[in-house]
Amino acid sequence: MKTNKFILGLLFTLVALSTQAQEKNIQFGLKAGANYAQYFPDIETRDITLLEYKKKFGFYIGGFAKINLSEKFKLQPELLFAIQGSKTLNEGIEIFIPQNQVLIVGDFRTNISETTLLAPIVLQYYATGNFYLEAGPQLGFIIDTKEKVKEDPFNQINNQTFDLDYDTFDVGLTAGAGYKLTEHFGVNARYFFSLTERNSVIKSSIFNLGIEYQL
């Protein structure tokens, strides 16, 4: 429900702004796509990996304003709603049950999902009429973080979900490329790299691939 309200509100705002900006040097649009995210670095001690982070699929949707600086350069601020995060793996957990003289060995796996508002601002260089390169800073505000247990070797908390109290801001750099297929439609690929350590431990590595529609 919150996602639907966000999309409808964003669409209404962009259409209104696009109508007002027709005679100006600004265009507005919508974009959406998939992301492939992972935390890093893994948690290790004495060359032993205690917790390994794995890649996880998510999605993003939002809007942008394209400001024409010159024939070759454009500035594109965006506001995006995203679900991203990471998978975790704690491999080879052992527990000994003395009553039965049994040693249980298994893996502990979880999915961490972040509900996030993203605000990238990229400078685009149009190498040709349709192909461009882009780079810039990105600020992320994490609204909510949940961890769901996918595999518990002891079958105690399978499929249970927990709230995580992680830091709520993520600042980094993003870079990518895009291609305009038509006057209105285009494709875009982008990579994000965290500069800040959240909870003094983790950073995010995220690859995005999606489509754009210019109003």
pTM above 0.95, yes or no: no
**How far apart are alpha carbons 25 and 199 in whole angstroms?**
42
Count of beta carbons in the 10 Å neighbourhood of residue 147: 18
| pLDDT in the model for residue 3 | 47
Residue 34 CA to its chain's centroid (Å): 9
**How far apart are alpha carbons 80 and 2 in whole angstroms?**
14
β partners of residue 135:
123, 175
In the predicted model, residues of the chain with pLDDT beneath 50 are: 2-4, 7, 10, 14-15, 17-23
| pLDDT in the model for residue 21 | 47
| pLDDT in the model for residue 58 | 97
| pLDDT in the model for residue 170 | 93
Residue 16 CA to its chain's centroid (Å): 27
Three-state DSSP at 42 gives: coil
Three-state DSSP at 182 gives: coil
| pLDDT in the model for residue 126 | 95
| pLDDT in the model for residue 102 | 64
Q: Give the chain's domains with CATH numbers.
A: 2-214 (2.40.160.20)
| pLDDT in the model for residue 129 | 85
